[in-house]
């Protein structure tokens, strides 16, 4: 009959979103700095939902990987 096919793509309904304040706390900086990062296209990319900006957990992880890669390249 039919095969059991499991999607490897993450479910968007299960994804966690962080607020600007939560991102600021994670990086031990101010929400103003996180907002500045977004305006200057540095840091994790946020998604504007109404008046709020939310940051998908996957985007936070992508940003951290890119920082780690950048630091590795600089030390090589």
Whether residue 2 is contained in a domain is answered as no
What domain count does the chain have? 1
Whether residue 57 is contained in a domain is answered as yes
Confidence of residue 75 (pLDDT cuts 50, 70, 90): confident
Q: With 90 as the cut, is the pLDDT of residue 8 above it?
A: no
Whether residue 10 is contained in a domain is answered as no
Whether residue 29 is contained in a domain is answered as yes
Whether residue 9 is contained in a domain is answered as no
The backbone torsions φ and ψ at residue 15, rounded to the nearest 5 degrees and listed phi first, read -70, 140
* 24-34: b (≥16 Cβ within 10 Å) or e: beeeeeeeeeb
> Average pLDDT over the chain, rounded to whole?
86
Tell me the residue range of the domain where 58 lies.
17-75
Query: Taking the CA of residue 22 as centre, how many other CA atoms within 13 Å lie in the half-sphere pointing to its CB?
Result: 13
Confidence of residue 6 (pLDDT cuts 50, 70, 90): very low
Tell me the average pLDDT across 31-48.
Answer: 95
Whether residue 11 is contained in a domain is answered as no
- Rounded Cα distance, 51 and 56, in Å: 16
Q: What is the pTM assigned to this prediction?
A: 0.74
């Amino acid at each position: 009959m039919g095969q059991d096919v499991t999607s490897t793509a993450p479910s968007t309904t299960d994804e966690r979103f962080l607020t600007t304040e939560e991102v600021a706390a994670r990086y031990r900086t101010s929400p103003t700095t996180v907002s500045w990062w977004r305006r200057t296209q540095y840091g994790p990319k946020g998604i504007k939902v109404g008046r709020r900006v939310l940051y998908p957990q996957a985007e936070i992880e992508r940003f951290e990987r890119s920082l780690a890669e950048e630091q590795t390249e600089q030390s090589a």
